[in-house]
Amino acid sequence: MSVSGPAAAIDLKGIDKRFGAVHANKAVSLAIAPGTIHGIVGENGAGKSTLMSILYGFYQADAGEIFINGAPRKIVRPSDAIAAGIGMVHQHFMLVEPFTVLENVVLGAEGGARLIGGLTKARTELQRLGDAYNMSVPLDTPVSELAVGVQQRVEILKALYRGADVLILDEPTGVLTPSEADHLFRVLDQLRHQGKTVIFITHKLREIMAITDNVSVMRRGEIVGTVATKTTTPQALAELMVGRTVRLKVDKAARAPGPVVLDVRELSATDNRGTTRLRDVSFTIREGEIVGIAGVAGNGQSELLEVLAGIRRRASGEILLHGQPLDPAHTDPAKLREARCAHVPEDRHRMGLVMSFSACENTILGYQDDPRFTPHGLLNRTAIAADTSGKMIAFDVRPGNPQLRASLFSGGNQQKLVLAREFERDPTLLIVGQPTRGVDIGAIEFIHKRLIAMRDAGKAVLLVSVELDEIRALADRVLVMFDGRIVGERGPDASEQDLGLLMAGIAS
pLDDT number for residue 110: 65
Reported as a pLDDT band with limits 50, 70 and 90, residue 314 is: very high
- Which has the higher per-residue pLDDT, 216 or 441? 216
Reported as a pLDDT band with limits 50, 70 and 90, residue 115 is: low
CB 453, CB 251: distance < 8 Å = no
Least confident of 226-240, 303-317, 494-508: 494-508
- Helix, strand, or coil (residue 316): strand
pLDDT above 90 for 457? yes
pLDDT number for residue 255: 87
- Helix, strand, or coil (residue 278): strand
Which H or E run includes 65? strand 63-68
User: 390: closest CA among 417, 352, 354?
Assistant: 417
Rounded to an integer, the average pLDDT of 341-366 is: 94
Handedness of CA 405, 408, 411, 417 (dihedral sign): negative
Residue 97: CB atoms within 10 A of its CB come to 12
d(CA 68, CA 368): 53
pLDDT number for residue 111: 61
The one-character DSSP state at 309 is T
Q: How far is CA 59 from CA 28, 78, 96, 231, in A?
A: 15, 9, 23, 33
- Which has the higher per-residue pLDDT, 87 or 116? 87
**The pTM is what?**
0.71
Which H or E run includes 108? none
Rounded to an integer, the average pLDDT of 231-237 is: 92
Rounded to an integer, the average pLDDT of 207-224 is: 93
Using CB atoms within 10 Å of the CB of residue 42, give its burial: 0 to 12 exposed, 13 to 18 middle, 19+ buried.
buried
Q: Which domains does the chain have, with CATH numbers?
A: 10-242 (3.40.50.300), 258-340+428-508 (3.40.50.300)
d(CA 44, CA 248): 17
pLDDT number for residue 274: 86
Using CB atoms within 10 Å of the CB of residue 480, give its burial: 0 to 12 exposed, 13 to 18 middle, 19+ buried.
buried
Convert the pLDDT of each residue in 56-73 to its tens digit.
999 999 999 999 999 999
Q: At what angle do helices 381-394 and 411-423 cross, to 10 degrees?
A: 110
Q: How far is CA 68 from CA 48, 55, 72, 156, in A?
A: 19, 10, 6, 20
Reported as a pLDDT band with limits 50, 70 and 90, residue 95 is: confident
User: 501: closest CA among 480, 486, 485?
Assistant: 480
Rounded to an integer, the average pLDDT of 318-341 is: 90
CA 92 vs. chain centroid, Å, equals 9
Rounded to an integer, the average pLDDT of 26-34 is: 96
pLDDT above 50 for 3? no
CA 30 vs. chain centroid, Å, equals 25
Reported as a pLDDT band with limits 50, 70 and 90, residue 178 is: confident
pLDDT above 50 for 88? yes
- Which has the higher per-residue pLDDT, 469 or 283? 283
Phi-psi region of 5 (alpha: psi -120 to 50; beta: other; left: phi over 0): left
| Gap between the terminal Cα atoms of the chain | 47
Q: How far is CA 355 from CA 349, 352, 404, in A?
A: 7, 9, 10
pLDDT number for residue 205: 86
| CA torsion, ordered 322, 328, 329, 330, to nearest 10 deg | 30
pLDDT number for residue 2: 46
Convert the pLDDT of each residue in 370-424 to its tens digit.
999 998 889 999 999 999 999 999 998 888 999 999 998 877 789 999 999 999 9
Rounded to an integer, the average pLDDT of 249-256 is: 86
pLDDT above 80 for 262? yes
pLDDT number for residue 357: 96
Averaged pLDDT score across all residues of the chain = 89
Rounded to an integer, the average pLDDT of 227-256 is: 86
d(CA 463, CA 194): 41
